[in-house]
Amino acid sequence: MDSTTELILLAEAVVRGDNVEPGELCRAAIAVADNPPEDHDLARFADLLIDASFGWARFNGSRLRLATAVRAYSLAASLLAADK
């Protein structure tokens, strides 16, 4: 599983209200930051997902913001795949 997929799965678990350790979400976000998607536009959506993940994990951020970032990244990835 690639790092972005892992981050999305963990973020979706947070959104569902599952018990996710903040450190685990941060580690997944760091892995994506260290190895971002090759597509420039998709990398920008990954940045939003990373930011929302850290926001939730470290600053008592919103699950809604995290859900929005997951949805935005997933939609962008789908559109990119459809264009290829």
pLDDT range class, residue 25, cuts 50, 70, 90: very high
Mean pLDDT of the chain: 94
Contact 23, 65 (CB under 8 A): no
pLDDT at 81 over 80: yes
Q: Report the pLDDT averaged over residues 38-46.
A: 94
Which residue ranges make up each domain of the chain?
3-83
- The pLDDT assigned to 1 comes to 74
Query: Cα(73)–Cα(50) distance, rounded to whole angstroms?
Result: 11
Query: Cα(56)–Cα(49) distance, rounded to whole angstroms?
Result: 11
pLDDT at 4 over 90: yes
Structure tokens at 72: 């935005």
pLDDT range class, residue 27, cuts 50, 70, 90: very high
DSSP state of 8: H
